[in-house]
Amino acid sequence: MATSAAGNPRLLLRRLRDIMQERTSAQDRLDRLVTLIANNMVAEVCSIYLMRAGGELELFATEGLNKDAVHAARLKKGEGLIGDIALNARPLNLPDAQSHPNFVFLPETGEAPFQSLMGVPILRDGLCLGVVAVQNKTRRLYDEEEVEALQTIAMVLAEMVASGDLIAPTELEETGIRRDRPWRAKGAAIVDGVAIGEVVLHEPRVKVERLIAEDPEAERRRLDTAIAALRSSVDEMVDAEDMDLLGDTKEVLEAYRMFANDSGWLVRLREAIGTGLTAEAAVERVQSETRARLMRHTDPYLRERAHDLDDLANRLLRHIAGLSDTAAGALLPENAVLVARAMGPAELLDYDRARLKAIVLEEGSPTSHVAIVARAIGIPLVGRVEHLLDQVDPGNQIVVDGEIGEVHLRPGPEIVAAYRAKLEVIAQREQEYAALRHEPAVTLDGRSVALNLNAGLAVDLPHLDETGAAGIGLFRTELPFMITTRLPSLRRQTELYARALDAAGERPVVFRTLDLGGDKVLPYMHLDAEENPAMGWRAIRISLDRPALLRYQLRALIAAAAGRTLNVMFPMIAEVAEFVRARALLDRELKRAEKVGQTLPASVRAGTMLEVPSLGYSLPALLAVADFISLGTNDLMQFFFASDRGNPRLGDRYDALSPAFLRFVKSVIDAAAIAGKPVAVCGEMAGRPLEALALVGLGISSLSMQPHGIGPVKQAIRSADSNKLAAFLNQRLDDPGHSLRAALKSFCERQGINLG
């Protein structure tokens, strides 16, 4: 006598597994499966429909309906009751199916006599691969346990479909299991650079191998232990002081906590185990159903929560499997490209940098903490790639173009060839630049230019030797403050600054004091929202209004520079009086250090950024009190042209090589020359060969830039004649045009200057 599935679903599952493992044809196994299911559920009919490429549901096997209809009867998604189940990805349980408004009669199946129907979607990763349904002649409402049992059967079928056992993947509708086509997406170009590599999921997905449990009690215990571990790890994350280091936002973490404590979720997991699944299979089944439900919503908030739940289910699976939370512990492939929804800076630093070639995120912004670290360690990063995790599988080939913010997943051979060629050119150039590492940056007519690094984190320091930089021209001290979640202690600050000085040895390091505010926000410092934060309460304005933080930092700098030269530079100075006040704070800290018997720096130089145009009109007075100036052309351009530096629509609107801007720069250089004080440039333009040549032509002899700028700029300088450049530019500074770029470029070409 057949045992009812509701009575003993585990027995049914075991029989299913036995049939699946037989070595007969897929069709034969399917035919036997439907018979088995029908018998166990005391149904007269059991049918399996699978979604064909093109989106039609095809009858693949049946017990009870007309066998001739197999592979002939078809329904569109949404058509009839079977199509309805597939479209809505939810079960139907109908005692009187024929009275349902969506009922469609398929004459070829001979289903006229059957009154009741219960069908469930065959789901995987929240996508519907088909439908399995049972029917009876009499009116019958299948009970909850029977619906559950059929859902579990559907999950087992989903695994068979996904394994390509029943139908070739190419014949299937393009679903999540057909992630085999090229996929291209545009995101945000966050960190420059190009890579071809292999996808590594930052948070690995657990592949559920064992679906059917031997001992449900043991599975329940496994689930309970994993749930407890999950809850406490989520609580830890929510409460963590280092939350920002993890990369998840408070909102996401709160959603995790809510789901992790949701009793409905737990009940469903336990019920799924009750139907004979292992703990991990139960998680997968419930997750697939929940995801299918949430993804039907058009509300972006709910769809976003579906992702949260995916992440959480994944974490739970990793707890069940006893795996660590990220892929950092595993051996990475040679060309690893990390893919994640979000990532924190500390997590990024856990990876083996030699093997990490790029990062692609669904979230992320240029000022996110992970972006700051990725930039510092020179890893290209593309962010804001929507639907990335739905499309990607570990091991997929991926091309990342951080210059334009594009990714190509499973790219075709022509894309790979094009990027390989690009990488070869880059590699060849790198070799040329490396060969110049120990050569001086001197023009053909003998003018020497100091090429310095912009830095800020400990991970930047090795670039000093790698690039052969002359020193650090801009140490952005706010970066370490931005990637931790509490104020770095005096000791930690001192250590970091001392490390920078140690790494530089004889080479100068210019420490810029905290440039906070604007887009540089600290998680632990509350700043009121401002209408124009770039022009708001930021940088030296905060430091002068609340001097404790600056004094604390100056104290650390003085201690770190004991017995050596200390160069301090103040950001966003708009008038001489601000510089005088800032310098007074430095003097006060020096006096304090002397009083307590500290070893003082051997010499102290105090300078200022020039990034607010007003300061350019106070130069003689400024230069009487400042030891040096550095032009911060990023902000200077933004205020000079009243053009937001972060707005991509304005990115190319004004040019640093415009005659007006160059004239302004020239006036600063001339004033500094008269005062006998050095002037440098540390904005992004300093690291671009053409712009760097223009600056040299105007008389700049110190540039500070990102590490990858040093090679190309040095190559350009070594092939240029500064006198000729000066003559060319000086003649054109009154030009009424938009920019001298094109003219300067053709001048360089004529002169045989190597612009890289």
What are the residues binding ligand PEP (CB under 6 A)? Answer: 474, 476, 515, 611, 632-635, 682-683
Min. distance of Cβ 688 from ligand PEP in angstroms?
13
Closest CB to ligand PEP among 681 and 717?
681
Closest CB to Mg ion among 379 and 573?
573
Min. distance of Cβ 517 from ligand PEP in angstroms?
11
Closest CB to ligand PEP among 396 and 567?
567
Closest CB to Mg ion among 86 and 626?
626
598 binds, among ligand PEP, Mg ion, none (CB under 5 to 8 A by kind): none
Cα distance between residue 87 and residue 150, in whole Å: 18
Min. distance of Cβ 454 from Mg ion in angstroms?
11
For residue 287, give the nearest of 301, 262, 300, 268 by alpha carbon.
268
C-alpha Rg value of the chain to the nearest Å: 33
Min. distance of Cβ 729 from Mg ion in angstroms?
25
- The answer to whether residues 401 and 358 touch, using CB atoms and an 8 Å cutoff, is no
Cα distance between residue 563 and residue 554, in whole Å: 15
10 binds, among Mg ion, ligand PEP, none (CB under 5 to 8 A by kind): none
For residue 403, give the nearest of 422, 390, 429, 424 by alpha carbon.
422
Contact footprint for Mg ion (CB under 5 A): 611, 632, 635
Name residue 565's beta-bridge partners. Answer: 603
Min. distance of Cβ 476 from Mg ion in angstroms?
9
633 binds, among ligand PEP, Mg ion, none (CB under 5 to 8 A by kind): ligand PEP
601 binds, among Mg ion, ligand PEP, none (CB under 5 to 8 A by kind): none
- Look at residue 79 and give its three-state secondary structure: coil
63 binds, among Mg ion, ligand PEP, none (CB under 5 to 8 A by kind): none
Cα distance between residue 687 and residue 293, in whole Å: 51
Min. distance of Cβ 635 from ligand PEP in angstroms?
3
**Three-state secondary structure string covering 132-177:** EEEEECCCCCCCHHHHHHHHHHHHHHHHHHHCCCCCCHHHECCCHH
- The answer to whether residues 515 and 474 touch, using CB atoms and an 8 Å cutoff, is no
Closest CB to ligand PEP among 57 and 457?
457
Cα distance between residue 147 and residue 67, in whole Å: 25
Closest CB to ligand PEP among 93 and 638?
638
Closest CB to Mg ion among 84 and 611?
611
Report CA-CA distances (Å) from 386 to 294, 298, 354, 404, 545: 17, 16, 28, 16, 42
For residue 711, give the nearest of 450, 432, 428, 379 by alpha carbon.
432
Report CA-CA distances (Å) from 560 to 453, 496, 649: 20, 8, 42
Min. distance of Cβ 683 from Mg ion in angstroms?
7
Sheet holding 194-201, edge to edge: 183-186, 406-409, 397-401, 194-201, 336-340, 356-361, 381-383, 188-191
Min. distance of Cβ 619 from ligand PEP in angstroms?
18
**Three-state secondary structure string covering 359-396:** EEECCCCCCCHHHHHHHHHCCCEEECCCCHHHHCCCCC
User: Does 128 qualify as catalytic in the annotation?
Assistant: no
Q: How many helices (H) and strands (E) are present in the chain, helices listed first?
A: 27, 22
DSSP of 665-707: HHHHHHHHHHHT--EEE-SGGGGSHHHHHHHHHHT--EEEE-H
**Crossing angle (nearest 10°) for helices 547-560 and 490-504:** 40
659 binds, among ligand PEP, Mg ion, none (CB under 5 to 8 A by kind): none
Cα distance between residue 391 and residue 406, in whole Å: 15
Closest CB to Mg ion among 120 and 612?
612
Min. distance of Cβ 703 from ligand PEP in angstroms?
12
Indicate which residue of 202, 369, 408, 463 is catalytic: 369
- Enumerate residues 6+ apart whose C-beta is below 8 A from 569: 474, 510, 511, 512, 513, 606, 607, 608, 609, 628, 630
Indicate which residue of 46, 128, 408, 682 is catalytic: 682
Min. distance of Cβ 519 from ligand PEP in angstroms?
9
Closest CB to Mg ion among 194 and 540?
540
| Cα angle value 236/237/240 (rounded, 5°) | 80
**Crossing angle (nearest 10°) for helices 263-274 and 144-162:** 80
User: Does 708 qualify as catalytic in the annotation?
Assistant: no
Closest CB to ligand PEP among 173 and 611?
611
Q: Which residues are catalytic?
A: 369, 682
